[in-house]
Amino acid sequence: MEEITSVIMEIRAGAGGEEAALFAAELFRMYQKYSLRKNWQLTVLNSNQTTIGGTKEIIFEVNGLDVEILKNEAGVHRVQRIPKTEKTGRVHTSTASVAVLAKPKNINIQINPRDLEIEFFRSSGPGGQNVNKVETGVRLIHKPSGLVVACQSERSQFKNREKALELLKARLFDLNWTVAQGKISEERRQQIGTADRSEKIKTYNFPQDRLTDHRLKKNFHNLEKIMDGELDQIFKIYEQK
């Protein structure tokens, strides 16, 4: 059994347009704050933000002791609240999907350089504004599997290429593990689902100040603290399962 000291998480906005992107950004900040509490190291690998502070997609790596507990966050997260842009006071329902790839300490995945197509691009910030004058972002296309990964967190092409390669290896490891288990579809795709409102593992109901974990069949209150990274009360229940 490989030792897990790192996971790669992917958060994507689902149903709900701009509100879904804002919720995805808030989920990332929640995990970021929890990582600080646990003294975990969090590194953003790639992100695609909106002009008003939302996140269409963000991929990040978390390193530290017992980070594998984060695998319980995989699935569709649903939010119910009145968006800031809503003028009539109507409650909207939006979703964001979370995928978690376990990254073993030593991934024994061999990649033939001939199987890779490498593209370079300019790293960008919110709203697509270029934060680099040169093309430091790296996109890797693994031709045999069709997997595409990108990294733009570092200032140098070389470091971004290294991190993109690590991400690709983690995805290939996950894909190989899934096939070995005899599953029909990729585990990551199962985690994400279609991001439809009905495919949910958690519901964040802001008007009622309640988080419902549909797998645990439990409710938790004080959403403000939960979104501020106070997740231990939930994760302790995961550990008991």
Pure H helices in 77-212: 157-180, 187-192
Counting every residue written for the chain, the total comes to 241
Helix (H, G, I), strand (E, B), or coil: what is residue 117? strand
- Bridge-based pairing of strands 92-104 and 116-121 is unpaired
- Could you report the per-residue pLDDT of 139-166, keeping only the tens digit for each? 999 999 889 989 887 888 888 998 888 8
Domains of the chain: 4-107+186-240 (3.30.70.1660), 113-180 (3.30.160.20)
Burial environment of residue 167 by CB neighbours within 10 A (0 to 12, 13 to 18, 19 or more): buried
Whether the per-residue pLDDT at 122 is higher than 90: the answer is: no
35: phi then psi, degrees, rounded to nearest 5:
-60, -40
**pLDDT recorded at residue 79:** 96
Q: Which residues pair with 3 in a beta bridge?
A: none
Whether the per-residue pLDDT at 80 is higher than 50: the answer is: yes
Angle at CA of residue 72, ends 46 and 53, nearest 5°: 35
- Could you report the per-residue pLDDT of 41-63, keeping only the tens digit for each? 998 888 888 888 899 999 999 99
Whether the per-residue pLDDT at 223 is higher than 90: the answer is: yes
Q: Band of the pLDDT at 133, cuts 50, 70, 90?
A: low
The mean pLDDT of the chain is: 84
Burial environment of residue 181 by CB neighbours within 10 A (0 to 12, 13 to 18, 19 or more): exposed
